Copies of this chain bind each other. A is one copy, B any other.
Amino acid sequence: MSQLIQRPTLEDMRLSPGKKARLYQLLYKYGPANGTLLVLPIDQGLEHGPRDFLDAPEAADPDFQFRIALEGPYSAIAVQIGLAERYYPEYAGRVPLVLKLNGKTEIPSDEAPISPLNATVEDAVRLGALAVGYTLYVGSPRQDEDFAQFRKVREDADRYGMPIIVWSYPRGAAIEAKGGKDTVYAVDYAARTAAELGADIIKLNVPNVDPEKLARAPKAYQRPWTVEEAVRQVIRSAGRSMVIFAGGERGSIDNTLQKAALCMDAGATGLIFGRNVWQRSYSDALTVTRSVSDLMKRYGR
């Protein structure tokens, strides 16, 4: 497991012209523009509710995130349909849009999650988006419905040449029983599943290497893992799909940069930073962004 993983090129991915044209813009025309991806998501208002904004009240106005995405500059901003309709028009063309197609609140039980479609690939085409986002709950007792729902999205995306970013999340009661959503086992399976189903880009969380939790995972995973190995492993399982890693909750800038470097070194194509950026003041958000952007420059291709 010590081989070097190379991130896939656009050629490696055997994309249709439409997907290739759009991904090319995300990789080379916006944000770092050097073949890496830096994405700003603002779907937390739906996924977590406004609680994420109570201590960062500027963030409650979605225009705040759009301004950061433009100024960053970020490769794209990822939002649900409601915000896209109201806030994207004045940024159209200046910052790419990733239309998040499904989403849910965190209120009901998470035992058997599924994220319903709130928008379609056609909405994304109409709005000039360069990609769509889809949250897949790998391992949920309702994954059969999720796969079926995803299939229709994939078919539409094929029809319109629209790249798909899969937020691939291990979830549900069975995942909890096998060590939880953050083990290398869980993230690894999620990475492969998204690749098997046809994701172009896969958004993953950095696995946690707590051996106690891993003890409940299948035997093959019962070995010592460093975070580096774990990250390389999940990127390997994504095959020729690009991987971007989440920044997760707000942490220190140094930790954030360190984790970002680790991921990029391991073969990630990019990063997706939300709360870690916009739960700060506008100027602090841009400072963090600049540090990350500087880091990304080392990974141009």
Interface set of A (CB-CB < 8 Å, partner B): 1, 3, 12-14, 43, 45-46, 49-55, 57, 60-62, 80-83, 85-87, 89, 103-105, 107-109, 114-120, 123, 138-141, 143-145, 147-148, 150-151, 154-155, 170, 172, 174-175, 178, 185, 188-189, 191-199, 218-221, 223, 233, 236-237, 239-241
Contact = CB atoms under 8 A, between A and B. Distances in A.
Contacts of A107: 138-139, 143, 170, 172, 174-175, 178, 189
Contacts of A175: 107
Nearest to A217: B51
Copies in the complex: 5
Contacts of A50: 188-189, 191-192, 233, 237
Nearest to A172: B108
Nearest to A240: B86
A239 B61 contact: yes
Given A105-B193, A237-B60, A198 B82 contact: yes
A49 B196 contact: no
A135 to B, nearest CB: 12
Nearest to A140: B108
B3 A196 contact: no
Contacts of A3: 57
Q: Which of A50, A140, A191 has the most CB of B within 10 A?
A: A50
Given A45-B237, A83-B195, A85-B14, A116 B103 contact: no
A273 B27 CA distance: 40
Contacts of A199: 82
Residue among A52, A154, A239 with the highest chain B CB neighbour number at 10 A: A239
Contact of A14 (B62, B89, B196): B89
A53 to B, nearest CB: 8
A138 B53 CA distance: 19
Contacts of A118: 147, 150-151, 196-198
B86 A147 contact: no
Given A51-B220, A117-B148, A237-B50, A143 B82 contact: no
A183 to B, nearest CB: 12
A118 to B, nearest CB: 5
A114 B144 contact: yes
Given A82-B195, A193-B105, A221 B46 contact: no
Given A103-B196, A196-B45, A116 B148 contact: yes
B55 A220 contact: yes
A103 to B, nearest CB: 7
Contacts of A53: 237
Nearest to A62: B239
Contact of A60 (B119, B144, B223, B236): B236
Contacts of A170: 107
Nearest to A198: B82
